């Protein structure tokens, strides 16, 4: 058995085309252009790629994208001053601070400074709380992209056992909360660095999501035959970009699998655009 490839890039282009129609209608009805402002600190190569992809996606969807570059040595006071300026600008609907931040800048302090109504990454404590309560204003982009990929490719979620490797605030925790919501109704297990015998748990998964930042960590013997495997990892190695899943071996066991690149990443960007439009709607008088 060879797994069906879950092509996130193709789906993202379809969704962005639909989103472009919604954006055009919003502009026509409100005479307002949805605007996303991205703050990039330093010269992290991976962040540069992510930001470029976001700007190109903004153009395709008709969203006004702006980039603010700050040097790696910027002070926390200068960083917060920019965030507060963007908070007060009525033309700015979404603010994204590109992570990771250089050492010395407290990400929690910076992210908490973003206006919750403009927090399109959904990292502000207010938006995290709303998600946990089952009434999200914004859904975090990568978890939202994963759920959309599963739903739009007719992968059953309700009643299925989803095992998530990784408990980050960006993917693991919010995805677990999202999958537990009424209407999604998965049974969720979250594994992390202190979980014993991870392979025993991953072999029980109908859907396995891997987001730990360890190249090719998940191998074929860790996967239940026929499972859907979602690889969130993006690891740069001498052989090129690889995921957290050993793609070549696991594709012979799994029923479905995402590639790296071209799997989850494009959908993360798409859901960011979706959240920007939601933010523009929320902020209308």
* Residues with active-site annotation: 54, 98, 121
Locate tokens 């960083």: which residue? Answer: 79
Task: State the burial class of residue 261 (Cβ atoms within 10 Å of its Cβ: 0-12, 13-18, 19+).
Answer: middle
Strand bridging mode 207-210 / 228-231: parallel
Q: How many CB atoms lie within 10 A of CB 247?
A: 21
- Residue 253 to residue 276: CA distance in whole angstroms: 38
- Residue 188 to residue 170: CA distance in whole angstroms: 17
């Amino acid at each position: 058995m060879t797994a069906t490839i879950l092509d996130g890039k193709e789906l993202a282009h379809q969704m962005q085309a639909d989103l472009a129609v919604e954006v055009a209608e919003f502009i026509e009805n409100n005479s307002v252009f949805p605007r996303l402002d991205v703050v990039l600190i330093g010269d992290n190569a991976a962040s540069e790629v992510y930001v470029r992809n976001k700007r190109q996606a903004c153009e395709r969807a008709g969203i006004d994208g702006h980039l603010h570059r700050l040097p790696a040595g910027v002070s926390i006071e200068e960083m917060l001053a920019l965030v507060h300026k963007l908070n007060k600008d009525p033309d700015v609907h979404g603010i994204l601070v590109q992570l990771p931040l250089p050492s010395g800048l407290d990400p929690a302090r910076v992210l908490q400074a973003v206006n919750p109504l403009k927090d399109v990454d959904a990292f502000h404590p207010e938006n995290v709380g709303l998600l946990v309560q089952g009434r999200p204003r914004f859904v975090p982009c990568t978890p939202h992209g994963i759920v959309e990929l599963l739903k739009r490719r007719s992968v059953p979620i309700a009643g299925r056992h989803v095992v998530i490797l990784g408990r980050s605030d960006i993917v693991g925790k919010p995805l677990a909360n999202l999958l537990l919501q009424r209407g999604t109704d998965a049974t969720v297990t979250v594994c992390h660095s202190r979980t014993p015998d991870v392979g025993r748990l991953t072999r029980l998964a109908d859907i396995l999501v891997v987001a730990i930042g360890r190249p090719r960590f998940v191998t074929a013997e860790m996967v239940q035959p026929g499972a859907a495997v979602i690889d969130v990892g993006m690891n740069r190695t001498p052989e090129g970009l690889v995921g957290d899943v050993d793609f070549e071996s696991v594709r012979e066991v799994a029923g479905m699998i995402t590639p790296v690149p071209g799997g989850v990443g494009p959908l993360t960007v798409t859901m960011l655009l979706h959240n920007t439009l939601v933010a523009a709607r929320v902020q209308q008088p």
